[in-house]
Amino acid sequence: MRPTRYRPIRGTGGAIVAGHPLAVAAGAQILNRGGNAVDAAIATAAAVAVVRPHMCGIAGDGFLLIYDNRSHTVSALNAGGPTPAAVSLDRFPGGIPDRGALLSSVPGILDGWAQALERFGTIPWSDVLQPAIEIADRGFPMYESLSAWIRKYEDKYAADPATAALLLPDGRPPVPGTVFREPDLARTLRRLARDGARDFYDGELAAVFAGGLGERGGVITRDDLAAYGATWGEPVRGTYRGHAVHTQPPMSQGWMLVQILSALDGVDLRGLGYEAPDRVLTIAAAIRHAFEDRDRWFGDPRFTKFSVDRVLSPHRVDEIRAALRRPRPTASPVAERAGDTTSLSVVDGMGNAVSMIQSLWTDAGIVIPGTGVIVNGRLNSASARPDHPDAVAGGKTPVYTLHTYMVTRGEALVALGGTPGGHTQLQTNTQVLSNMLDFGFAPQEAVEAPRFLLGGALHYQSMSAIFVEGRFPERTQAALREAGYEVSVLSDWAELSVEGPDPVTTGSAKMIGIDPATGVRSLGVDPRREAYGYVG
């Protein structure tokens, strides 16, 4: 076993990984009272929306994978919302901004939580929301990364009175260690617990949300909200090293993970060796092709000719695999974007499981007065180019970087996980899965192993740039330079930089591995950013 910074965590009962210890505790509370994986996942997700308000919230979006142990099936739930009907590119003559009420897509995550519970849950909706309500009521200790985030965007938050009242109490960012309370959000969650999630879409809360956003220049209408419903679909699936890899269908870009792994499945990465420069060059080339296909074709199929069958066809996979032998970088430009996201996974004692991710993309800098609800800025992730497949249009669902994965062998679930990180989610998930399936790394080893990022990360300009953690050997770095990459070396365990010039996030990978023979659950929690776990 490779040495790890965190000692492996194992157990035989329920297991949870998430981005804050209070969220993990909320899910564990539900498991310990007899709830199943879906009950615990929604409790965890609601608690994360309280304690990581800059990363997700009830006016955000998300995607779920759900494994049912009785039927041995994986279901996908898309809780991402479309662009409001009244939005068009004409509203952004100077390009898409990083703040403002026009950036909000129709929020989807609440309906996603409710539908997941209705189909698979065993505990009442009101009970599942109770841990989050209690945390919002009593408050939680402010922590360093949230405080730094608020400080970085202080000008944005100060511009909206309701946002300033929430995030800048006493006129300044809360200091780590002080108690941060969200009484308005607690009341909103209590109302949702009583009246149900649909109150946000076709009830009084819908009127409050649409009206409050409209007063600030937004154009989401009550009709937009009432028309929304999260959608169930078949996961996108691929084969890798004798395992099935499941991920979310469009409008998630999870298909890119399957495309990359399908191309790599014809390459003996293990034979190359973990420290070999050719391993990194080969994976980087596969990642580059996936991003090129995304930017060439991927947009809402109702508005474009995009087809998963096209990008995952044997012909296209063979083309990419052949091109891996010529891993020359290209200087294709990639738009600057930032993202606010969190992932979580849950397995219960019966073997049911959920892997999900939820986000605001970048918050719009707006809180709806009296609700504590921070508005998403999802349209900042779309394109302002009319000829781009992901160009903004009314009713069009934007491309989501959000995706997670489940890995099965035969009918048995053997791993699940995900990571935040905007465009780097794809790269982190690819490397973590390769670490496990190619080299036999345990989850903690797979998550901690040195990571590289093609194109920079949150604000990258060119796919010829590559960032590598310093634990990669010098010969690997030299080979990348020789191949034409612009190499930047990160400090070990590099994390999201909120302050300063460093534009890179290596993600916050979280994984649960399951031994089919023993049932032992093994956690992988990333030391680079906030990641926490629980096993029963």
Instruction: Quote the strand ranges of 370-528, DSSP E.
Output: 373-374, 404-409, 412-418, 452-454, 465-469, 486-490, 510-514, 521-525
- Identify each DSSP E strand in 268-419 by its residue range: 340-347, 353-361, 367-368, 373-374, 404-409, 412-418
Token pair recorded at residue 508: 């916050």
Q: Which residue is listed with tokens 């009127």?
A: 207
Only one residue has tokens 């996974």, namely 345
Is 341 noted as a catalytic residue in this protein?
yes
Q: How far apart are CA 16 and CA 268, in angstroms?
A: 33
CA-wise closest residue to 146 among 363, 429, 457: 363
- Which is the catalytic residue, given 83, 188, 341, 371? 341
Q: What are phi and psi of 175, to 5 degrees?
A: -85, 140
Sort strands 465-469 and 486-490 into parallel, antiparallel or unpaired: parallel
Are 213 and 373 in contact, with CB atoms under 8 Å apart? no
| Cβ proximity of 527 and 446 under 8 Å | no
Instruction: Check if the beta carbon of residue 58 is closer than 8 Å to that of residue 44.
Output: no
The C-alpha atoms of residue 303 and residue 357 are separated, in whole angstroms, by 25
Query: Hey, how many other C-beta atoms are within 10 angstroms of the C-beta on 89?
Result: 17
Angle at which helix 37-51 crosses helix 109-120, to 10 degrees, equals: 160
Q: Half-sphere exposure of residue 482, counting CA atoms within 13 Å on the CB side?
A: 9
Quote the DSSP letter at residue 124: -
| Residue 242 buriedness (CB in 10 A; 0-12 / 13-18 / 19+) | exposed
Residues assigned a catalytic role: 341
